[in-house]
Amino acid sequence: MADFITTLKKQVLLGDGAMGTMLVEQGLPPGENPELWMLAHPLAVQQVHRAYLEAGAQVIQTNTLSGTELKLKEYGAADLVEEVNITAARLAREVVQDRAFVAGIIGPTGQFPAPLGDLPWTELVEVFGRQARALEAGGVDFIFLETFSDLGEIRAALVAARKYTGLPVACSLTYTKGRTLTGTSPQIAAIVLEAMGAACIGANCSTGAAELLAVMKEYRQFTRLPLLVEPNAGMPVLINGATVFKETPQDMARFTEPFRNLGVNLIGACCGSTPAHIKAMGEALSAREPAPLPEQEGPPATRLASRSRAVTLGSKELPVLIGERINPSARKAVAEALRQQNWDFIIQEGALQLDAGALLLDLNTGLAGGDETRLLPEGVRRLQMSLDCPLVLDCTNPTALEKGLQEFQGKALINSVNGDKKSLNSILPLAKKYGAAVLGLTLNESGIPDKAEERLDIAREILAAAEHYGLPREDMIIDCLVLTAATSPELALETVRAITLVKEHLGVNTVLGLSNVSHGLPQRSWLNAAFLSLALGAGLDAAITNPLDHRIRETMIAGALLTGRDSGARNYLAQAGSLGSPANPPVNEDVDPADPGPALQQAILNGQQETVIPLVQKLLEKSDVLSVINEGIIPALEMIGGHFARGEAYLPQLILAGDAAKKAFTYLKDNFPRQQTAQGGTIVIGTVKGDIHDIGKNIVSALLENHGFRVIDLGKSVPAEAFLEAARREKAGVVALSALMTTTMVEMPQVIKLLKQELPGVKVIVGGAVVTAEYAQEIGADGYGADAVEAVKIVRGFSLAPGL
């Protein structure tokens, strides 16, 4: 029989459908493991295979979805891995002979590898390897990894299948709302799994064909591999007491042509489907020729990925900043943190660089006297749990690097190889095995050549070696290397020329360890930025540098526009906007000096905290304190309160306006202590005993204060006696009680009872997430505030003595 992948590239193949539901029809009892049941009922399983074959299926799947030792162990049958998988493969082969391909199915273990779970990734590789070997021994044509929902787990299965068998491997994940359970999109899966050597990728199970159509569209954008799809027949529903998968054979058949047109070459079905579905799907295919792949435009881009974020390097992309600061050789603080295992510091360093615009982080754990084989994988584990970006593993020790690559659940960039054969032969196979891109330095045993042409020659040798190891050209990035201008200023332009030559002659992407140029010189930022500008002009695609240097960031943004990489200046304008104008615009210079009141009101309405004090000051030149409050602040608060009540403003806007008003009040209180700013009376407020939630209470408190009330905030979990004592001491007119939980709101009647008994004149209002108007009435409260605005309205309705 022809090779599976060769056939798949030439024609659209029809897969089979559900196994589990078919076995139930054959008598599989509920709760029984289908794989173990098969050992006693081989003919039943063969009956299912036969039914699908007769329906037209050209790929028949073994009954081994739960055939790993971890799944079989749940049934006390871990020692039956070989028996189950070899038997299943033989049963399928006996039925199909050479009339169809046999797919050796491997499914997820139900465990998650580190860092999500506690199962070591390397152990998982061995678990999958054992099953893959048995399936190959049973005679399957390819290994089919299906129904996976975690990228880390399917990576382990893929590495295992490639390591322990000589068979092609198809990879399929399940998606809900366009992502897997642990957050991987089809884009990321395509980038990572293709780089690791998957022969075919796709999706199965999920919620049905309609959702998977969108998933396959996304796959096609990011890979040229053959695609596969096997959707569920919808989700199960209960109809007249019976479980029904709602999508009929005709429903599913409608999707086969759209799938074929997207370049999906293996089309089957999953849960709830039957041979009737497969037959209808086969009949709906108008042709078996695969749809042509879309034309590739321009040189291929280099794609890197973390579990959930992709970064693309290429001539048509914005140049990429790679954060260089996690490097113990360059920074003592990092060395100390690594020595102390202070990973929080390292994560913080990473976070700062990402915040500053880096898209990739270089991780160097080469600490003098440290154990890189331990530090690098640990660093990878820590960073990828906290930060969502692809990593650049800056390491030339193959043992440490392999451990780091195993831990990184994405597609990393290796930093680096050079023209030295030893470097190439030790690192490139690791890149191939774990699906990483590689940064190639244009130096060799003789050092860094002076001339650009000689650096180009080394780059050529690196690319030839990469090709030899099967690495695609787009996964090689060349660093033409720059020396410090302190000793070799004349060579800086030679580096720029080398970048030009590499781009022209080799067409690959380029990167530069930028900061070397300024080593040993003062004002390094000047040199770094100037050199970056020259390099961008030559076609540089990425720079390893310090993203916290604003000059570098600005040069990157401006350089991208000037080198034609920023279409429509979109990035430039967006960045210029966010860097140049804060969320709160500065004070309008056109404020009418004769009447700054409207401007103050507008500033409060917009929550422009930085502008209210200058406006209050302007207003005070013409008015007294009370006028500022009554004609500037209060009307603005009433306006925003009205907007909020009518649904014309959001709650965060209301609170921001409150914060801005509070700034104005605080200024007035601090600068005019003798003037009376609190005019509305005194209110004691707090969250009742046992309740530790106080966000809502704080909002009410702030808004009351802004409306001129004197607010005594007792905080959270306040006992009844404390409310009484404060109300008595402060001569409060109102006590406001808040509770978020049903278990704590029962404290409210206790407080009310005590207050009514001891201070009968005091009004009590209540509010909080679970409190209702009915409850407020039931417990004898004088008012109920559904939200902060209403609370203010109620309190203003009481006639209170002015605050102290």
Please say which residue, 647 or 761, places its beta carbon nearer to another protein: 647
Residue 646: is it exposed, middle or buried by C-beta count within 10 angstroms (0-12/13-18/19+)? exposed
Secondary structure element (H or E) that encloses residue 343, with its range: helix 343-355
> Is there binding between residue 653 and another protein (CB under 8 A)?
yes
Rounded CA gap, 470 and 451, in Å? 29
H/E run at residue 686: strand 682-687
Q: Are 440 and 476 spatial neighbours (Cβ–Cβ below 8 Å)?
A: yes
By the rule CB under 8 A, 790 interacts with another protein: no
Alpha helices in 646-687 (DSSP H): 651-671
Is 599 one of the binding residues for another protein (CB under 8 A)?
no
Closest distance to another protein from the beta carbon of 115 (Å): 5
Question: Is the Cβ of residue 235 or residue 333 nearer to another protein in the bound state?
Answer: 235
Nearer to another protein, 476 or 603 (CB): 603
Q: Are 104 and 135 in contact (CB under 8 A)?
A: yes
Smallest gap from Cβ 108 to another protein, in A, equals 8
394 or 713: whose CB is closer to another protein?
A: 713
d(C-alpha 255, C-alpha 258), whole Å? 5
Nearer to another protein, 293 or 695 (CB): 695
**Closest CB 693 distance from another protein, rounded Å:** 7
Number of shown-chain residues binding another protein (CB under 8 A): 66
Positions of E strands within 135-210:
142-148, 169-173, 200-205
Q: Is 238 in the site for another protein (CB under 8 A)?
A: yes
Stretch that binds another protein, among 83-91, 260-268, 527-535, 653-661 (CB under 8 A): 653-661
Binding of residue 679 to another protein (CB under 8 A):
no
Does 750 help bind another protein (rule: CB under 8 A)? no
Is residue 659 at the binding interface for another protein, with CB under 8 A as the rule?
yes
Report which residue type is found at 648.
Answer: E
CA dihedral 328, 333, 337, 343 (to 10 degrees): -90
Q: Is 573 in the site for another protein (CB under 8 A)?
A: no
The reply on whether position 652 binds another protein by CB under 8 A is: yes
| CA atoms of 258 and 650, how far apart (whole Å) | 43
The DSSP code for 56 is T
- The strand pairing partners of 686, in sequence order, are 737
* Chosen residue from 579, 651, 801, 804 binding another protein by CB under 8 A: 651
d(CA 600, CA 623): 13
Q: State in angstroms the smallest separation of the CB of 698 from another protein.
A: 5
Quick check: 31 and 20 in contact, CB under 8 A?
Answer: no
Candidate segments 130-138, 487-495, 514-522, 606-614, binder of another protein by CB under 8 A: 606-614
Binding residues among 299-328 for another protein as defined by CB under 8 A: 307-308
Looking at beta carbons only, is 116 or 262 nearer to another protein?
116
Position among 77, 558, 741, 759 found at the interface with another protein (CB under 8 A): 741
What phi and psi, each to the nearest 5 degrees, are found at residue 638? -65, -40
Q: What is the 3-state secondary structure (H, E, C) of 434-482?
A: HCCEEEEECCECCECCCCHHHHHHHHHHHHHHHHHCCCCHHHEEEECCC
Among 6, 31, 166, 646, binds another protein (CB under 8 A): 31
Residue 146: phi, psi to the nearest 5?
-135, 160
Among 370-378, 516-524, 613-621, 644-652, the segment contacting another protein (CB under 8 A): 644-652
CB of 525 to another protein, least distance (A): 25
**From the CB of 393, what's the least distance to another protein, in Å?**
20
Cβ–Cβ < 8 Å for 81, 131: yes
Do 94 and 133 form a contact (C-beta atoms < 8 A)?
A: no
CB 200 within 8 A of CB 170: yes
39 binding another protein? (CB under 8 A): no
Pairing label, strands 227-231, 302-305: unpaired
In angstroms, what is the minimal distance from the CB of 209 to another protein?
19
CB contact at 8 A, 689 and 744: yes
What character string, x for contact with another protein (CB under 8 A) and - otherwise, covers 127-166? ----------------------x-----------------
Integer Cα distance of 585 and 575 in angstroms: 16
Q: Which stretch binds another protein (CB under 8 A): 288-296, 358-366, 422-430, 692-700?
A: 692-700
Length of the chain: 804
- What is the identity of the amino acid at 20? G
Does the protein bind another protein through residue 480 (CB under 8 A)? no
Q: Residue 96 interacts with another protein (CB under 8 A)?
A: no
- Chosen residue from 606, 677, 682, 738 binding another protein by CB under 8 A: 606
Site for another protein in 155-214 (CB under 8 A): 176, 179, 181-183
715 to 734: interface string for another protein, x by CB under 8 A = --------------------
**Please, what sign has the CA dihedral across residues 81, 86, 92, 98?**
positive
Report in angstroms the alpha-carbon separations of 579 from 348, 576, 635, 801. 22, 5, 33, 49
770 near another protein (CB under 8 A): yes
- 118 near another protein, judged by CB under 8 A: yes
Residues binding another protein (CB under 8 A): 20, 24, 30-31, 66, 110-112, 115-118, 149, 176, 179, 181-183, 236-238, 243, 307-308, 347-348, 351, 355, 385-388, 582-584, 606-609, 650-653, 655-656, 658-659, 662, 689-695, 698-699, 702, 741-744, 769-770, 772, 786
